[in-house]
Amino acid sequence: KQEVTQIPAALSVPEGENLVLNCSFTDSAIYNLQWFRQDPGKGLTSLLLIQSSQREQTSGRLNASLDKSSGRSTLYIAASQPGDSATYLCAVPTSGTYKYIFGTGTRLKVLA
Amino acid sequence: GAGVSQSPSNKVTEKGKDVELRCDPISGHTALYWYRQRLGQGLEFLIYFQGNSAPDKSGLPSDRFSAERTGESVSTLTIQRTQQEDSAVYLCASSLFRTSGSSYNEQFFGPGTRLTVL
């Protein structure tokens, strides 16, 4: 059974800091891993998708890495800004299916 | 182009009534997902549709929940005899389904329907 854990649960940093969010999963037989952000009262916005054959993906100030063998992914945010404040979620499918399991998220607050 | 849309955005109902929630996926997306998010909690998978294949219903919490999808278009999630514990935001997502390419199976979410059962 796929289980997804995100650490830390909450994070508060001053503007400009570089930071790392962690996602770990128990079943490494995954097709891909996806990172999202969720703003309060809103739906989810896709940030990055990493296929199982890839080791990392970059979009602007965001970089996500994937280590399938150890069941880990990290989301790196460079030069954080107050607009980055949101909850960040990772999601992976259960082995052999497209049933996605979400972590409980990291609640990020970037202080101006 | 247009993203995933859901209606209604908010629904307040009385315990015991039936409700229908609607999802319009991105045009051309063959895969469609429903999730539930209770207040302060993570997303729970409910059901997955892919083309004409049998849906994966393994996440539906009880037989009061059902979902349908017409071809590769609109989906409706129906909750019968609603209970207070059904109060949550119901989120729909769609994706292309491919076996190769850099962005296959990337999920795009709608804004959700907030259901309140009194």
Residue A81: DSSP 8-state:
-
Q: Closest chain B residue to A37 measured between Cα atoms?
A: B109
Residue B24's pLDDT is what?
Answer: 96
Residue A9 backbone phi and psi in degrees, to 5? -75, -30
Give the contacts of B62 (CB within 8 A, at least 6 positions apart): none
Residue A44's pLDDT is what?
Answer: 93
The DSSP string of A36-63 is EEE-TTS-EEEEEEEETT-SEEEETTEE
Residue A58's pLDDT is what?
Answer: 95
- The model's pLDDT over B13-43, given as tens digits with 9 standing for 90+, comes to 999 999 999 999 999 898 999 999 998 888 9
CB contact under 8 A, B109 and A43: yes
Return the bridge partners of B99, or none. Answer: none
pLDDT in tens, chain B (118 residues): 589 999 999 999 999 999 999 999 999 898 999 999 998 888 999 999 988 888 999 999 999 999 999 888 899 999 999 999 999 999 999 998 765 554 467 899 999 999 999 9
- The model's pLDDT over A1-14, given as tens digits with 9 standing for 90+, comes to 889 999 999 999 99
Residue A53 has pLDDT above 50, yes or no: yes
Residue B89's pLDDT is what?
Answer: 96
Average pLDDT score over chain A: 93
CB contact under 8 A, B109 and A91: no
> In this structure, how many other beta carbons lie within 10 angstroms of the beta carbon of residue B12?
12
- The model's pLDDT over A72-88, given as tens digits with 9 standing for 90+, comes to 999 999 999 999 999 99
User: Span A60-68, mean pLDDT?
Assistant: 95
> How far apart, in Å, are the Cα atoms of B115 and each of A26, A99, B11, B84, B89?
32, 23, 5, 10, 6
CB contact under 8 A, B43 and A102: yes
Residue B70's pLDDT is what?
Answer: 84
Q: Is B46 on the interface with A (CB under 8 A)?
A: no
Residue A96 near residue A78, CB atoms below 8 Å: no
Q: Which tokens is B1 given?
A: 């182009």
Q: Which amino acid is at B76?
A: T
Percent of chain A residues topping a pLDDT of 70: 100
Going by pLDDT thresholds of 50, 70 and 90, the confidence category of residue A31 is confident
